[in-house]
Amino acid sequence: MSKLIITAALTGAEVTREQQPNLPITPEEIAQAAVEAYEAGAAIVHVHARLADGTPTQDRQVYGEIQRLVTEACPVIFQPSTGGAVWHTAQERLQPLELNPEMATLSTGTCNFGSDIFANPQEFMEEAARTMLERGIKPEIEVFEAGMIDNALRLVKKGLLKEPLHFNFVLGVPGAMSASVRSLAFLVDSIPPNATWTVSGIGRHETPLAVAAMAMGGHVRVGFEDNIYYRRGELATSSGQLVARIARIAHELGREVADPNEAREILGIAVKT
């Protein structure tokens, strides 16, 4: 079994300071959160940018400042979102790819997202995949519904995605696939045998699904984007605190935690020297 890759999803596009007072918003705060997550065991930081007032943004310049601060401070894999917020246009969502990050997310299908719709039409999926391929960016294929795996495999047949693939199963979003071990097992059985995968359990499902993923040989994402609580009724102090819990559980299970360069090797990303 490979070492465990822990991803820290630091901010997201939905959580507010009213809900989680410790939410990082500015580039400096997000970079500090990345350092804390790295020191706790994270190899990847998944980043959504915000404006100073907390509004989600896909602006290239804001992402560029976050990327600069993060990469100067620690050796984690910087993974920007191309999902953005549900109201961002396709052109806005793809701006972070202009920074040539090592990884970026690629959502391969449309689904309900609470009371909204997270739209990823075929044209957008193909443009995002093509851009990542041309720029040498490793896609993390975000799957909210089982059909999104089939869409990703069609992109492989079109030559727009290159195997081995890496998937992130986001489970528990209201309106999308349920957060259960049964759902996770079905998704894992549906991907190519040479693919790697991560699970992102939403809310109270974060830790139980993380433990299941560790036992199944998968990888784990935690952080304020997915869950703002440490335990019921107790807000987490940071995404780093959530990462540290996963690292402790992994240690108890005998699963070593990957450092960023080990994560690069597992994912097929060129190792930094």
The model's pLDDT over 84-129, given as tens digits with 9 standing for 90+, comes to: 999 999 999 999 999 999 999 999 999 999 999 999 999 999 999 9
pTM exceeds 0.85 for this model: yes
How far does the chain reach from its first CA to its final CA, in angstroms? 25
pLDDT tens sequence across 191-209: 999 999 999 999 999 999 9
Cα 11 to the chain's mean position, in Å?
A: 11
The residue assigned the tokens 């450092």 is 259
Q: What is the mean pLDDT of residues 231-248?
A: 98
Question: With bands split at pLDDT 50, 70 and 90, how would you rate the model's confidence at 270?
Answer: confident
| Residue with more model confidence, 1 or 91 | 91
User: 272 pLDDT band (50/70/90 cuts)?
Assistant: confident
What domains can you pick out in the chain, each with its CATH number?
6-267 (3.20.20.70)
Q: Are 175 and 114 in contact (CB under 8 A)?
A: yes
Q: Tens of pLDDT along 213-222? A: 999 999 999 9
* Nearest by Cα to 4 from 171, 273, 196, 231: 196
Contact, 212 vs 199, CB < 8 A?
Answer: yes
- 46 phi/psi in degrees, rounded to 5: -95, 125
Give the Cβ contact number of residue 227 at 10 Å. 23
Average pLDDT (168-175) is: 97
Q: What is the C-alpha R_g of the chain? A: 17
- Provide the pLDDT confidence category of residue 271 given band limits of 50, 70 and 90: confident
Instruction: State the average pLDDT for the chain.
Output: 97
Beta strands 56-57 and 49-50: pairing type?
antiparallel
Letter for the amino acid at 120?
N
Tokens read off for 179: 């957060």
Tokens encoding 67: 């990327």
What pLDDT is stored for residue 269 in this prediction? 96
Q: Where are the alpha helices (DSSP H) in the chain?
A: 27-40, 60-73, 90-93, 122-135, 147-157, 181-190, 206-216, 239-253, 260-267
Task: Work out the average pLDDT over 144-158.
Answer: 98
**What is residue 158's predicted lDDT score, i.e. its pLDDT?**
98
Sequence-distant (6+) residues with CB within 8 A of 184 are 169, 171, 199, 209, 212, 213, 216
Prior bond to 193 cis, omega within 30? no
SS3 77: strand
